[in-house]
Amino acid sequence: MNGRISRKTLEELRLRASIVDVVSEYVELRRAGSSLRGLCPFHREKTPSFFVSSEKGVFHCFGCGAGGDFISFVMQYKKVDYREAVEELCERTGVEVIYEGGGGEADVLKRLFDVNRFGADYYHKVLFQKGNPARTYLKKRGIEEDTARSLTIGYGGGGRRGLAREIKVEGLDVEAAIECGLLFQRRNGEVVDRFSGRLIFPIFTTAGKIAGFAGRSLDDSEPKYINSSESRIYKKKNLLYGLNFSGKFVREEGRVYVVEGYMDWIIMWQAGIKNVVATCGTAMTSNHFRALKKVTDKVILLFDGDMAGRKAAVRSMEPAYEAGISPLVFFPPKKRDPDDWIREVGVESVKDALGGAKLLMEYIIDAAAKKFDLNSISQRLDYLKLVGKYLKNVRDPVEKEMFVQEIAAKLNLTADDIRKWTAKQEGDVIAAPGIDSAEKALKIKPEEAMVGFLLKHPRCAAREDVKMAISAIEDTELAEIASKLTNEPDESGTILESSINREGEKLASKLSKAVLLYEQFFPEEKEGDLEKILGFIALRRKEDELARIISAFKEEGDRAKREEMLRLQMKLKKDIEETRKNL
Ligand SMILES: [Zn+2]
C-alpha cells in the first residue's frame, strides 16, 4: 500500500489501544508502584526488569534497554516496520486505516472491490442459467436455491474467457481483476478466467464487501478448491468465511462454531445453526481469533473428526491463546465432517452433542494420555513433555492450575510436582513483586528526572526555575527533547510519541527509561511537588559532581582529601533520601 497512514488513523488507534492491553498479550504484568512490571520478552531473565507505564503509554526494560510505546513494542516483538505494526494494531482494534498522499489509495482498493463485485454478480447470473452442472451439484449437496442466492454463489460456466470478456466489455480494470486473482495472464499474454468450470463462493469482509473467492471443482478433481491469491484486499490470515452473515447470531448466542469447509458452513447455516464461521482453506491464525473475540470469547472449533482435523485443532492452540481465547473443541464422531454429520443424524442431535464440547487443552491432555503407555516411566516423561509444551500457552493462572491438576491425576503425581516441573521447563520463575536488588541499584540521573517530570507535567515547562534546571542538562539528546517540551508543552503526548517513533531506537530507549525511572522514584508525586523534585535533581547533580571528584582524587592518591569528599557524599546521599521521603 502506498501513501502515508493518516494522522486521524493514528489518533483513533491511540484512543482504542492501550499499551497495557497490547503488552499483556505477550507479557504477564503485575502492578509495581505506579507502573506495571513483568519478564522482558526481548531478553532472557528470571527477575522482571521490564516496566510499563500505563499513564504515559511507554515500556522500558532496565535489563536490555528495549523501550518505546505500544507501536514500537509490536515492531520489536513481531520484527515488523512501523507501518506494518500500525496496520496490525488497527486491525486488532477495529480501526480503519486511512492512507493519504501516494495517489488515491482508496480509489485503488475500490477498483479491486468493484471488480470482485462484478465477477461475483456475473458468475451468480451464470449459475441460474438453464441446464448447467453446478445447479445439479448444489441440489446433490442439499444447498437450497435461496441459500445460493443469499450467498451469491456462482458458477464459472462461461468458458475459459467468459468473465475476461465481460470485464473488457464493461470497461473495468483488467489489471485489478488480475491482481484480485479473478483473471490470470498466460505466458503468451492471453488473459483468462481463473475460476472457470468451478462452483464459486464469494468471501466477504465483515463489512460485506467481496475480498476474494473460493472455487470448488464439481467432479472432485484436484485441486478440489482453489482460492483467490493474496492481494491487498484478500488476506487469508485475516478472513473468516461467513462472519459478515453470522456476526449478529454469534452475539445473540454468545458463542461461535468454527468449521473448516465452506460446505460445512453452508449446511450448518441452512440447518439453523447460524453462529458459525469457516476458515478459508488455511489454519486458524491469531488474527482470526482476534476477529472472533470482538464478537465473543467462546470459540468452539468444530473440525473434521479425522486425524487431519484433530491436528488442525491442536495447532490452533497457540494462536488462540495468543489472542486471549481459550478455545473449546468438538469433533463429529466416526471421522465425519460437520456437513455429513448433520445430514446423518439431524440438526437437533448435533445441537445436543455440541453441548459436550470441551476445552482444547483438556482434549490434548486426554488424547495424549491415550497415545502413551502411562505405566512406563520413559513414556510418562514423554507425555509430560508433550502436554507441558501446550500448557505453556495457558496464561490464566486459575485455568492453568486446573489443567495442572488434570495432568497430575493422569500421572498419579501431585499438582505441586507438575508445577515445579513446568516452572523449570519454562525457566521463568517469577519473583514476588516488590523492590529487588537490581532495582535498588538503579539511579535516576538528573536529566532523566527532569524529562520525566516535564512529560508528566507539561504545563510546568514555562516556569523559570524549570528552564534553569533544563539548561544544565548535559545529555544532548535529552537536552533537545527537554527544550522542545519547554517551547511547546506536550499535553497531548505528541512530542513523546513522535520522538519515540521517528528518532530511532536509542532515543526511544532513553525516553522510556526517563518515564519509568521517574515513576519508580516518585510514585506518588503531584504537580505541586515540583520544588521538591527540583531540589532532588539539584542534589543528584551535586552527587554526580562529587563522584567525579572522588574518582579524580583516587587517581591522585590524596587520601585525606578523598575521605573528606566521601563524608560530604554520605551527607548528600542522606539529604537525597530525605527529599524522596518528603515527596
Ligand atoms: Zn529486556
The answer on 129 and 39 residing in a single domain is: no
State the total domains in the chain.
5
Find the 236 Cα to ligand 1 centroid distance in Å.
33
Find the 443 Cα to ligand 1 centroid distance in Å.
18
Residue 1 has pLDDT above 80, yes or no: no
Closest CA to 439 of 511, 522, 521, 506: 521
Percent of the chain with pLDDT over 90: 47
Residue 573 has pLDDT above 80, yes or no: no
* The last residue of a domain, from among 304, 332, 355: 355
Find the 51 Cα to ligand 1 centroid distance in Å.
10
User: Could you read off the pLDDT of 209-236 as tens digits, one per residue?
Assistant: 999 999 999 988 888 889 888 888 898 8
Q: Which residues surround ligand 1, an ion (CB under 5 A)?
A: 40, 42-43, 61, 63-64
The answer on 159 and 77 residing in a single domain is: no
Is 232 domain-assigned?
no
Find the 509 Cα to ligand 1 centroid distance in Å.
11
Q: Would you call 563 helix, strand, or coil by DSSP?
A: helix
The answer on 45 and 58 residing in a single domain is: yes
The answer on 111 and 205 residing in a single domain is: yes
Which CATH number characterizes residue 318's domain?
A: 3.40.1360.10
Q: What pLDDT is recorded for position 475? A: 81
Find the 217 Cα to ligand 1 centroid distance in Å.
52
User: Could you read off the pLDDT of 25-64 as tens digits, one per residue?
Assistant: 899 999 887 789 999 999 888 888 999 999 889 999 988 8
Which amino acid does the sequence have at 295?
V
Find the 429 Cα to ligand 1 centroid distance in Å.
16
Find the 75 Cα to ligand 1 centroid distance in Å.
15
**Per-residue pLDDT band at 580 (split at 50, 70, 90):** low
Query: How close are the terminal C-alpha atoms of the chain, in Å?
Result: 51
Mean pLDDT for 486-510 is: 79
Find the 243 Cα to ligand 1 centroid distance in Å.
39
* The last residue of a domain, from among 227, 252, 268: 227
Find the 70 Cα to ligand 1 centroid distance in Å.
15
CA trace torsion 180, 184, 185, 191 (10° rounding)? -100
Cell of 245: 452473515
The answer on 178 and 112 residing in a single domain is: yes
Q: What pLDDT is recorded for position 429? A: 39
User: Could you read off the pLDDT of 136-177 as tens digits, one per residue?
Assistant: 999 999 999 999 999 999 999 878 889 999 999 988 888 899
Q: What pLDDT is recorded for position 427? A: 55
Find the 37 Cα to ligand 1 centroid distance in Å.
11
The answer on 111 and 96 residing in a single domain is: no
The answer on 469 and 419 residing in a single domain is: no
User: Could you read off the pLDDT of 184-211 as tens digits, one per residue?
Assistant: 888 888 899 999 999 999 999 988 899 9
The answer on 507 and 372 residing in a single domain is: no
Q: Which domain holds residue 334?
A: 243-355
Is 235 domain-assigned?
no
Find the 323 Cα to ligand 1 centroid distance in Å.
23
Find the 399 Cα to ligand 1 centroid distance in Å.
28
Find the 293 Cα to ligand 1 centroid distance in Å.
30
Is 530 domain-assigned?
yes
Which CATH number characterizes residue 203's domain?
A: 3.90.980.10
User: Could you read off the pLDDT of 337-346 as tens digits, one per residue?
Assistant: 999 999 999 9
The answer on 558 and 455 residing in a single domain is: yes
Closest CA to 198 of 179, 176, 222, 180: 222
For residue 471, CA distances in Å to 446, 486, 511 come to 12, 11, 18
Q: What pLDDT is recorded for position 103? A: 54
Q: What pLDDT is recorded for position 435? A: 34
